[in-house]
Amino acid sequence: MLIQLTNLPNHDASFCSKNFKSSALGEHASTKDHTDATNREIAKAELIKVTNNAIDKAQQHVGALMKVVFWLAENDIPLSKLPKIMQLCRALECPKFLSISNPITYENNISGRQMLSAISNSIEEAIWKELDKATAFGIMIDESTDISYSKSIFELVISLFDIVLLWCKCYARKLTGVAARIKERNKCLFITHRIAHRLALACNSAEKKITFCKHTENIIKSIYSFFSNSSKRTDTLQKYQEILEHPILKIKQIYEIRWLSWYEAVKNMFIY
């Protein structure tokens, strides 16, 4: 055991000399100063051990808690359910959640949001690091019915070197679409237009110019509105289907943005 003599009161500097009797060691070992110094070293080692153990348990608790938060987000479960999930974990005696020595558990939804934000930032940072190392990359952007997304998408990809877009009318308008705006700054933009989507857009545009198709669309929409606005009418329709032993089908709504909605609506009407 190394004893720091500078911590001893009224110590004699001559004691540090190499020329001392071996019996002096035995005499010193029995002194109160030596005992106190030894006890201090033992207490220091125990304190470090206890502190490290507490830190390890706290890190394990927070790490497991962050996994729970990530699982909730991954499965679209609101963070308001976090306290109940933690109660379930303790009821199932999950080892990393059984310690009650620390009153601060970070198991409320506010702490959950902060953890989720930290996880999100970590994932985003990893993605940007990969992008920094990449020599080329592409992005596939699906269509959206909300024009408010156009600006954020434009700001996100404006600095990219190459981009591959899944064509959509709201993105690909000749002068004001996202693709046109990005191409103003990036001449290397390469655009692909999925053939199935191109066909759906062409059929949608053609349908609007054919009187018969427009008339048919209005009839289907009127029938849908007639039944969808009344649960009683819907129940009556279902009862008639059961009496006539017809397939139990629903009146479908037509959506311009959904490719197969026209087919589904007409198919169900034809079966009736």
Q: Would you say the pTM of this structure is higher than 0.85?
A: no
Distances (CA, A) of 197 to 133, 164, 202, 204: 33, 15, 9, 11
Whole-number pLDDT of residue 245: 83
Per-residue pLDDT of the chain (272 residues; tens, 9 = 90+): 444 444 545 455 444 555 556 666 666 667 777 677 777 787 777 777 777 666 667 777 788 888 888 998 888 888 888 888 888 888 887 777 766 555 667 778 788 888 889 999 999 899 888 888 877 766 666 655 555 555 556 556 655 544 444 444 445 555 566 667 777 777 776 666 677 777 877 887 887 888 888 888 888 888 888 888 888 888 888 888 888 888 888 888 887 767 678 788 888 877 65
Whole-number pLDDT of residue 162: 44
Which residue in the block uniquely carries the two structure tokens 């759906």? 200
Cα gap 74→87, rounded to integer Å? 20
Q: Give the single-character DSSP code of 144.
A: -
Q: Do residues 171 and 179 touch, judged by C-beta distance below 8 A?
A: yes
Determine the length of the chain.
272
Cα gap 14→94, rounded to integer Å? 60
CB neighbourhood size of 155 (10 A): 9
Whole-number pLDDT of residue 99: 61
